[in-house]
Amino acid sequence: MFQTATRISDPSPMSPVRAAVATASEDQASSHRIATSLDRIRQSVAIQRRIVRQGDFVYQAGKAFAQLFVVNTGMFKVVNLSRDGREQIVALKYRGDWMGFDGIADHRHDCDAVAMDTGEVWSISYDALLQAGAREPALMATLHRAMSREIARDRGSLISVCTLPADARVADFLCNWAGALACRGLRTDQVTLRMTRAEIGNYLGLTLETVSRALSRLDREGLIRFVDKRRRELHLPDLPALGEFVRQGVEPVSQTLQ
């Protein structure tokens, strides 16, 4: 059942990969890594700080590429215009994330980056970065790690969309969000959705109605709790349970307990 769609070599004898919830020490390490990366950037290359407000473009598809961007504060969405001009959110970016890698290949951005609330981005000249990186291997390593991580994360999105039913996909989305917060040293029992149901659905390949229903069901199950009337802010009482719910989505009926 569901759209497992993953019947290549059925019961592969592998243990679960990527735990849904990282350990506290891993989170601490990530938090430290992000901070030191930002420091390194600031010290090694000329950056231009820019305050953005909700809806502001960091860059736009089609524009010439000359700079990379790093999120200092705030949250950003990366949007591709699909074939017919509709928008498809392909990534969400938080503090420490880079944006604009897609433009390197053809010296032209092929998506938009939009601020989802007030924040600060740093612009870095790509040429200057390359020069600094040639002198300073640690800086280049930081850049490469960021690109590598982006590739891995994009694939995670693909896996989620390809293998999970709607409710689990929404739960996975929340887990990932909480994980991103944890990596930045923030509390993970509470998240504020800075996006509409339509945007979440777009990102996850679902309709806004399905997202709304999924959230309602998760609330009914006790896996999440709405805290405000607008139902944007929500409490995650049990992150491991949420992760377990995601895993059940892949293997619906099996060793759920004991």
Summarize as ranges the residues that interact with DNA (CB under 7 A).
1-5, 7, 165-167, 193, 196-198, 205-213, 215-216, 226, 229-232
Minimum separation from the CB atom of position 252 to DNA (A): 8
Helices (H) and strands (E) in the chain, counts: 7, 11
Residue among 178, 174, 175 at smallest CA distance from 187: 178
Positions in 116-135 near its own copies (CB under 8 A): 130, 133-134
12 binds, among its own copies, DNA, none (CB under 5 to 8 A by kind): its own copies
| Residue 180 makes contact with its own copies by CB under 8 A | no
Of residues 176 and 207, the one with the C-beta less far from DNA: 207
16 binds, among its own copies, DNA, none (CB under 5 to 8 A by kind): its own copies
Which residue is listed with tokens 């759209």?
A: 3
Minimum separation from the CB atom of position 189 to DNA (A): 19
Positions in 36-75 near its own copies (CB under 8 A): 61
Minimum separation from the CB atom of position 227 to its own copies (A): 25
**How many CB atoms neighbour CB 230 within 10 A?**
8
Of residues 112 and 167, the one with the C-beta less far from DNA: 167
| C-alpha to C-alpha distance for 107 and 110, rounded to whole angstroms | 9
**E strand intervals along the chain:** 47-52, 57-59, 67-73, 76-81, 87-93, 98-99, 112-115, 119-125, 190-192, 225-226, 233-235
Minimum separation from the CB atom of position 47 to DNA (A): 32
Give the CA distances from residue 12 to residues 6, 9, 158, 168, 218, in Å, rounded to whole numbers and listed in that order: 11, 6, 20, 22, 30
Q: Out of 48, 82, 118, 192, name the contact with its own copies by CB under 8 A.
A: 82
Give the CA distances from residue 107 to residues 44, 65, 68, 97, 110, in Å, rounded to whole numbers and listed in that order: 23, 5, 11, 20, 9
231 binds, among DNA, its own copies, none (CB under 5 to 8 A by kind): DNA
Q: Out of 149, 222, 238, 240, name the contact with its own copies by CB under 8 A.
A: 149
